[in-house]
Amino acid sequence: MVNFKGAIFDLDGTLLDSMGIWADIDKRFLAKRGIALPDDYVEKVTPMNYQQASEYTIQRFQLVEEKQEIIQEWVQMSFDAYRFEIKLKPFVEEYLAYLKHLGIKLAVATAQTPELYEPTLKNNGVFELFDVFTNLSEVQRGKGFPDIYILAAQRLKLAPQDCMVFEDIYAGICGAKAGGFHTCGVHDPYSAYEKDKIESLADGCCNLRGLVGQ
């Protein structure tokens, strides 16, 4: 894999074994309103920030709630899971420590707000390994666009071409590639439906295990 000076990591499905939690939250959220979870719903909202996802959900299901009400409900439903339940994916801690040992700067680029990502990264003992954090509420567009990765690179004080973006969803790979970043697709069961597209576009793919010690 190409040499790089900065590594920018997505959170859910890349660093954290958490996509199942979000699928369950989506299912329970819609079930409270008498709506079955559509097959494509998780795929549609995953690249979005909370504002975009709430607007999409209201329009798609003709809900009467305001966007902020829905966002608050999602945050509340996920709060305990991120504080107490969610664990790192296998070999994440080892790979982050390996990159840190090499002097590579580390960033997180996530849809989640600090109230969610800080506790879970601290509980799993890797929060202090990261140099900077970015989330989608800080940019205008979702992960189909390069905005969040560009912001992360700026905070790392690195050019996009000097950074590797690790993502488990196709939209994230598309956005990073559009910004001039190197990309690595990270395998996750919840993005298996777009595995072929990720592998065709990303510069490489992995499960992090094979990268430790290389």
Per-residue pLDDT of 109-119, as tens digits, reads 999 999 999 99
Q: Where are the beta strands (DSSP E) in 71-211?
A: 105-110, 132-135, 163-167, 182-186, 204-206
The rounded distance, in Å, linking the Cα atoms of 105 and 115 is 23
Q: Which of 28-32, 87-91, 147-151, 206-210 is predicted with the least confidence, judged by mean pLDDT?
A: 206-210
pTM: 0.84
Q: Of all helices (H) and strands (E), which one includes residue 9?
A: strand 6-9
Per-residue pLDDT of 141-176, as tens digits, reads 999 999 999 999 999 999 999 999 999 999 999 999
pLDDT at 78 over 70: yes
pLDDT at 97 over 90: yes
- Taking the C-alpha atoms of 167, 172, 176 and 181 in order, what is their torsion angle to the nearest 10 degrees? 10
Q: Which pLDDT score is estimated for 208? A: 67
Q: Which pLDDT score is estimated for 162? A: 98
Q: Sort 63 into a burial class: Cβ within 10 Å, 0-12 / 13-18 / 19+.
A: middle
The rounded distance, in Å, linking the Cα atoms of 39 and 21 is 16
The rounded distance, in Å, linking the Cα atoms of 73 and 213 is 42
